[in-house]
Amino acid sequence: MKIGIIGAGNMGGAIARGLAKSTKVSASDITVSNPSQPKLDALKLFNNAINVTTSNATAAKDADIIILAVKPWLVKSVLSGISFNAKSQLLISVAARISFEEYAEMLDSPDSTIFRIIPNTAISEGESMNLIAAYNASEAQKTLVQGLFDEMGSSIFINEEQMAAGMALTSCGIAYVFKYIQAAMQAGIEMGIKPMDAQKMVAQSLKGAAAIILNNDTHPSVEIDKVTTPGGYTIRGVNELDHAGFTSAVIKAIKISRG
């Protein structure tokens, strides 16, 4: 299986590295294109077996799967510069807010098999939350694409209509998690803890909380109850968050990110 990745920026580069480390694809079967050479050189340093080129057409030519990892405003011009075979190639795009109908129109092929994927920046650590929507895809094709991206985190299929809301929760939402880490660090520093110690304490606590939710049949409310004893310090803090509008602020931030 040959994969052509168009774009070697933060997302395209991370996908290339993730696939090169995966059990599904050989690095020598990956070709990455990018207009500037330095990002391609960085990929070769990571794994010399990855093929690189400054030609999008070359990256796409013999690929079974074409992954489009460019900014949304570049999609049309990039697609017009490659030859896409709807009968033998799959198109995967990580560009946000371009619909399947728009892709089919740009490709001049309503029968094309297209996937839209929203990862987040944790893909660089192999811990991305990947949201996938499919168009004209068979169950075997869906299984194939999900298997590829599961190697770089966790993937779920959603309807295209849910992509904007899902992006707000995951792709945008990771920034709000970092904002909490930053705020909690500042509190720790004020209380006399060294900045990097505070950062590690908070980040590991978040990692542990995520593991509890992901690995158990539970709910945040249940887990909060486990650490809020009557008259204790934790319930005072939880109540203070509510008094300050923490829950409302998070909901508003995520909803406004949906656009």
Q: With cut-offs at 50, 70 and 90, classify the pLDDT of residue 14.
A: very high
Q: What is the pLDDT of residue 44?
A: 97
Coil vs helix vs strand at 129? strand
CATH architecture of 173-257: Orthogonal Bundle (1.10)
Pair 67, 152: CB distance under 8 Å: no
| pLDDT score for 116 | 98
The whole-chain average pLDDT of the chain stands at 96
Instruction: Dump pLDDT digits (tens) for 66-87.
Output: 999 999 999 999 999 999 999 9
Say whether pLDDT at 259 is over 90. no
Q: How much is the pTM?
A: 0.93
CA torsion through residues 92, 93, 98, 103, sign? negative
43: pLDDT strictly greater than 90? yes
Residue with tokens 């030519």: 61
For residues 31 and 44, give the distance between their C-alpha atoms in angstroms, rounded to a whole number.
Answer: 11
Whole-angstrom Cα distance, residue 80 to residue 145? 24
Q: Which of these, 74, 72, 92, 94, lies nearest to 84 by C-alpha position?
A: 92
What radius of gyration do the chain's Cα atoms show?
21
Q: Evaluate whether 86 touches 112 at the Cβ level (below 8 Å).
A: yes
153-196 per-position pLDDT tens digit: 999 999 999 999 999 999 999 999 999 999 999 999 999 999 99
Q: Does domain 3-158 have CATH number 3.40.50.720?
A: yes
Separation between Cα atoms, residue 199 and residue 176, nearest integer Å: 15
Q: Which amino acid is at 81?
A: G
Q: How many CB atoms neighbour CB 48 within 10 A?
A: 11
**What residues does each domain of the chain span?**
3-158, 173-257
Measured distance CA(116)–CA(181) in Å, rounded: 30
pLDDT exceeds cutoff 90 at 240: yes
The CA–CA distances, whole Å, from 255 to 168, 172, 180, 246, 251 equal 7, 10, 17, 14, 6
259 CB-side CA count, 13 A: 11
